[in-house]
Amino acid sequence: MTDPSSAATPATANQPEILSPAGDMSSALAGLAAGADALYLGLKHFSARMQADNFATNELAALLDLAHSQGRKIYVAMNTFFKPGEEAAVSRMIRRLLQGPHPDAIIAQDLAIIELARQAGFDGEIHFSTLANLTHQACLCSAANLGASRVILPRELSIDEIRLLNQARPQNLGLEIFVHGALCYCVSGRCWWSSYLGGKSGLRGRCVQPCRRVYKQGGKEGRFFSCRDFSLDALLKTTLEFSGIRSWKIEGRKKGPHYVYYVTTAYKLLRDNPQDPAAKNEAGELLEMALGRPYTRGRFLPQRGLSPTAFGPAPKTDKGDNRGGDKKTNYQTDSGLLCGRVVMEQDKKSMAVKASMELIPKDFLRIGSEEDSWHQTFSLGKRLPKGGMLTLNAPKHKTPRLGTPVYLIDRREPELTQILKTWQDKLAARRPKVKKDADIPEFQPYAPRPENMRGARRLDIVVRGALPHGRRGKEGIKPGTVQGLWLSPRALNEVSRTLFGRISWWLPPVIWPDEEENWLRNIRQAQRNGARHFVCNSPWQEAMFESKQNLSLTAGPFCNLTNAFALGALARLGYSQAIVSPELSAADFLALPAQSPLPLGVVASGYWPAGITRYPVLPLKPDEVLHSPKREGFWFRQYGQNNWIYPSWPLDLSAYRQQLEKAGYITFVHLQEYPPKELENRPGRTSEFNWKIDVL
């Protein structure tokens, strides 16, 4: 093994950069050693990968100094949403970043970061995270207008859709695409599954990955939502034709230096030698060594129709989708490389593992799945040949069953250790000048002027969901409430034109590039028919309206709005009202209206989705309940290209309406979805979401 950075050349103006993950210093140095053009990493707070070690600001200063001396870049991810009252802490953290070498960009989910970063004095680039949910052409102009330099695209896109976005982007806006790493089942920024089950929000970097668990529906049982890893490898040469693609991004801030080094080296080979079969083969061999799950192309080649989950059709011809898997089933979705199985339980205190590949000293292994409460990890003390047997002591209550898989999850081969030692010495030699915290002046960001809503008329909006085929809704709209409808061709054709101006028209939380034209036609037809009030469920959907004259645009609850600075950004985009995220706690809910520059609404009741996915839910049936190991019920329904996954118990904050009105909320939304028949008329559980707990 040689250090490729010794011969590394930076990306040219016509090439995308190789952007590598850094969850800790060892992984950061591995990325630099492998020739990454840029690294992305998080601090100890406000990072969407809070399970990673992340960086203190003094560590980051030394790394920045080293990276810049090598012509590399560092991007800092501050890509969570910010709760009311956290804005000052965010600004202070940015100010600390500016006391030494400056990061080249901040990666943001929350719209507030634009204003907070500028007020704090940051003059670098702002990159909007995939969590910000920029999914179609019109979004790009809206993001550029707010000051973004780059947009990180969703992983659900096809090559044709990426081409459309590349053609539609403003010239001053770059695009970044994920090329490798773990894959979420739900659309980024459109998953509340973990938060709904107990306040550990994925939008705050605390996801407990409920999609990786075993679920049951009828006689079917399995990890129906657990995805393979994403890998585009040699297919990426097509994207080299797209001038707007500035970055190939490797996912993995929770991965070790072995993964970072091998994957970075592989993609640098593929970028620099797109027509070389030998480079393609070498890159494939390197990715085989990256300790990942079996791979999927996702929807990059949609004509193949593959599901990214274990229960999708197994690929028959593309060997790239089989790498790293169990050849007997090809259905592994646990992290790590399958390297053996438990073959013998010798007694209650020990067991035997048979290796299916050669293992070396310091290999870090895991017995069982991460979701198994008894799973265990350990470091190997000696070499174990392929077919060799290893006897291990089993802790109390952690004895696995025969056949339990064993995974290689990290490796410290001597050659890589030596390369990292060389880079650690380079890091130790850096002495950047950094001001002490005591020398940094106090800073309080200037908040937008709040809207005075005293005496405003209260309004209820009942948003009707679509009925399953053959069903009839029983609920009517009570006097004094406004009817809300999801905008659709069916609704446009069935509603009388005399009613269009009285209805609140709701846009979906996700619009994909290949359907944007249809949505633009729907919006124009609704306006011609007299529609005046629209609820946009992505902040960027305002760009779909050619003129906002005589219109009332509300930012909907799927925009994940949680603080006054984000609401101020929406006001600049032309919104006249906003409905806040239902993820907030009671204290956050009640504090926000007094700070908000826009009138506010809240989701008061109804079925709130656990998540929204573009992938098929195989092999399950829609509108039938499935259960988790803890007997939590869920069901799903398809709307357009997306499947909405719902908990079996609805959200209900009606008991707190008086408090919410007193705090200043003027709009109360009721999401009237029609659950499966087996849940109808069943009294019981409702959810207060995070009302009584502080979302982490």
Q: What is the pLDDT of residues 344-376, one digit of tens each?
A: 766 666 788 999 999 999 999 999 888 777 888
Helix (H) or strand (E) holding 490: helix 489-494
The whole-chain average pLDDT of the chain stands at: 89
Q: Helices (DSSP H) in 170-314: which residue ranges?
A: 193-196, 257-272, 277-288
Q: What is the DSSP letter of 693?
A: S
**Virtual torsion, Cα 557, 558, 561, 562, nearest 10 deg:** 80
pLDDT recorded at residue 50: 58
pLDDT recorded at residue 315: 42
State the Cα–Cα distance between residues 95 and 388, nearest whole angstrom.
55
Q: Is 606 left (phi over 0), alpha (psi -120 to 50) or beta?
A: left
State the Cα–Cα distance between residues 694 and 208, nearest whole angstrom.
16
Q: Say if residue 155's pLDDT is above 90.
A: yes
Q: Say if residue 319's pLDDT is above 50.
A: no
Taking residues 390-396, what's their average pLDDT?
79
Which has more pLDDT, 394 or 23?
A: 23
Q: Which CATH number is 337-410's, of 3.40.50.300, 2.40.30.10, 2.60.40.10, 3.30.930.10?
A: 2.40.30.10
For 317, the token pair is: 């011809």
3-state secondary structure 445-464: CCCCCCCCCCCCCCEEEEEE
Q: Say if residue 292's pLDDT is above 50.
A: yes
CATH number of 459-608+650-679: 3.20.20.70
**Virtual torsion, Cα 632, 638, 641, 646, nearest 10 deg:** -30
Query: Letter for the amino acid at 136?
Result: H
Taking the alpha carbons at both ends of the chain, their separation in whole angstroms is 42
pLDDT recorded at residue 49: 66
For 674, the token pair is: 């029609």
pLDDT recorded at residue 547: 84
Query: Which superfamily is assigned to 16-183+230-291+416-428 in CATH?
Result: Aldolase class I (3.20.20.70)
For 242, the token pair is: 């797209």
Of 175, 246, 238, 177, residue with least CA distance to 17: 246
Assess whether the region 16-183+230-291+416-428 and the region 459-608+650-679 belong to the same CATH fold. yes
State the Cα–Cα distance between residues 40 and 16, nearest whole angstrom.
15
State the Cα–Cα distance between residues 104 and 90, nearest whole angstrom.
17
For 29, the token pair is: 């140095």
Helix (H) or strand (E) holding 41: strand 38-42
Q: Say if residue 452's pLDDT is above 80.
A: no
pLDDT recorded at residue 321: 43
User: What sign does the CA torsion over 585, 586, 591, 594 have?
Assistant: positive
Q: How many helices, marked H, and strands, marked E, lie in the chain? A: 15, 31
Strand pairing report for 245-250 and 295-296: unpaired
pLDDT recorded at residue 392: 83
State the Cα–Cα distance between residues 525 and 435, nearest whole angstrom.
58
CA 609 vs. chain centroid, Å, equals 16
> Which residues fall within 8 angstroms of residue 277, CB to CB, at 6 or more apart?
none
Domain residue ranges of the chain, discontinuous segments joined by +: 16-183+230-291+416-428, 337-410, 459-608+650-679
State the Cα–Cα distance between residues 196 and 623, nearest whole angstrom.
20
pLDDT recorded at residue 310: 66
Tell me the pLDDT tens digit for each residue of 522-573. 999 999 999 999 999 999 999 999 888 889 999 999 999 999 999 999 999 9
Helix 25-33, helix 57-69: angle, nearest 10: 10
Residue with tokens 């090598």: 70
3-state secondary structure 168-179: HCCCCCEEEEEE
Which has more pLDDT, 375 or 474?
A: 375
Tell me the pLDDT tens digit for each residue of 73-102. 999 999 999 999 999 999 988 998 888 889
Is 23:54 a contact under the CB 8 Å cutoff?
yes
pLDDT recorded at residue 316: 41
- Is the omega angle on the peptide bond into residue 619 within 30 degrees of 0, that is, cis? yes
Q: Say if residue 475's pLDDT is above 90.
A: no
Of 641, 690, 691, residue with least CA distance to 206: 690
pLDDT recorded at residue 320: 40
Q: What's the predicted TM-score (pTM) here?
A: 0.93
For 684, the token pair is: 């019981």
Tally the C-alpha atoms within 13 A of residue 553's C-alpha that lie toward its C-beta: 25
How many of the other CB atoms lie within 10 Å of CB of 446? 9
Is 330:294 a contact under the CB 8 Å cutoff?
yes
pLDDT recorded at residue 317: 36
State the Cα–Cα distance between residues 487 and 413, nearest whole angstrom.
56
Tell me the pLDDT tens digit for each residue of 234-268. 999 999 999 999 999 999 998 999 999 999 999 99
pLDDT recorded at residue 626: 96
The fraction of the chain above a pLDDT of 70, given in percent, is 90
Taking residues 377-388, what's their average pLDDT?
93
Is 117:141 a contact under the CB 8 Å cutoff?
no
